[in-house]
A and B are shown apart, each in its own frame.
Chain A
Amino acid sequence: MNIVILNDTPREVVPDQTVAELLSELVLPARGIAVAVNGEVVRRGDWPTHHLRDGDRVEVLSAAQGG
């Protein structure tokens, strides 16, 4: 297993797991989600093909009150 840092918390993922596969394991709002890996935005269309590597920092963001 690989370890990624998901929103500051270590998480086990299978080798070569994609962003889309990771998101499918999480309980998330249906809409309004954005993902960054190592500080870079991963566009929605790339979620199924973007493979995570051991040690990747993954941020999953959604709408919040503010501004």
Chain B
Amino acid sequence: MDDLLRLADTDFSSRLILGTGGATSLLALERAIVASGAQLVTVALRRVDVTTPSLMEVLERCGVRLLPNTAGCYTAADAVRTARLGREAFGTDWVKLEVIGDERTLLPDAVELIKAAAQLVADGFVVLPYTTDDPVLARRLADLGCAAVMPAGAPIGSGLGITNPHHLELLREAVTCPVILDAGIGTASDAALAMELGCDAVLLASAVTRAQDPTAMAAAMRHAVIAGRLAARAGRIPRLTHAQASTPGHPTW
């Protein structure tokens, strides 16, 4: 029973995408990636620091596909430039587009995000934009030709989970492209909930890399995403206000 995640022209058997921020060491990161089963891992681009060991080597060892991101960009121009640098560095047209609006919330700047997405789609990129849980903005991004939309469940690194599940459901209904919950996940049940609400995948970093035991949490996330996906497809029972006996009648003897 294949239930693959299709992004652009590529199929993934894992619906968990891992960020690399927050890991205390490359060894911890490598173990977490392996335990998570993730096949797609997002990386930032920074000025070379030859004093630190190579992240690239670790990621190549893990055999994961790289998803360059534009983390730390505050304007469309900066994000587009960073995306182009990422394409050069990693030889991929894929980009996790982040255009941050303010430092305190790290939430996206919708105006700059739309501008950057339009330009990158026109440039031939496979654009995966980090967005808010606003269904209208998500539809605009999808209409521009983004390969998926990636709404935040809560601010990056907050671990608050999905603060507005209803919005996420509305967003899910608003677009036909894949929806990837990106940011806010705190623990495994948050990831399962995202999938139960109809998301196609979950992208997380801090919940794993900053957990007391990142490897164990990575395994928990792997299972949570699978469980949530299965539950979403299985169809939950309706919520009732009163009990409904699972065994009708009463015993007679």
Contacts and interface: CB of A to CB of B under 8 A. Distances in A.
Interface in A9-56: 26-36, 39, 41, 43-44
A61 B90 CA distance: 11
A34 B88 contact: yes
B88 A64 contact: no
A39 B205 CA distance: 30
Contacts, number: 101
Contacts of B29: 65
A59 B47 CA distance: 7
A46 B82 CA distance: 18
Nearest to B19: A67
B165 interface: no
B69 A41 contact: no
Given A32-B90, A41-B88, A65 B50 contact: no
Interface in B189-208: 205
Nearest to A42: B88
Contacts of A66: 19-21, 43-44, 46, 69, 71-72
Interface stretch (B55-63, B235-243, B244-252): B55-63
A8 B205 CA distance: 30
A65 B27 CA distance: 13
Contacts of A26: 48, 50
Given A26-B50, A28-B48, A66-B21, A61 B85 contact: yes
A67 B88 contact: no
Query: Which of A29, A33, A67 is the most central at the interface, judged by chain B CB atoms within 10 Å of its CB?
Result: A67
Contacts of B112: none
Given A29-B57, A31-B56, A67-B98, A62 B84 contact: no
Contacts of A65: 20-23, 29, 43-44, 55
B54 interface: yes
Given A32-B56, A61-B48, A62-B48, A41 B20 contact: no
Interface in B47-81: 47-50, 54-57, 59-60, 66, 69-72, 81
B56 A29 contact: yes
A65 B60 CA distance: 14
15 contacts: A26-B50, A33-B89, A39-B81, A41-B81, A61-B46, A62-B54, A63-B43, A63-B59, A63-B89, A64-B45, A64-B49, A64-B55, A65-B44, A66-B46, A66-B69
Interface of B: 19-23, 29, 42-50, 54-57, 59-60, 66, 69-72, 81, 84-86, 88-90, 96, 98, 205
In the A-B complex, the 4 residue pairs with the closest CB atoms: A66-B44, A67-B69, A67-B71, A34-B89
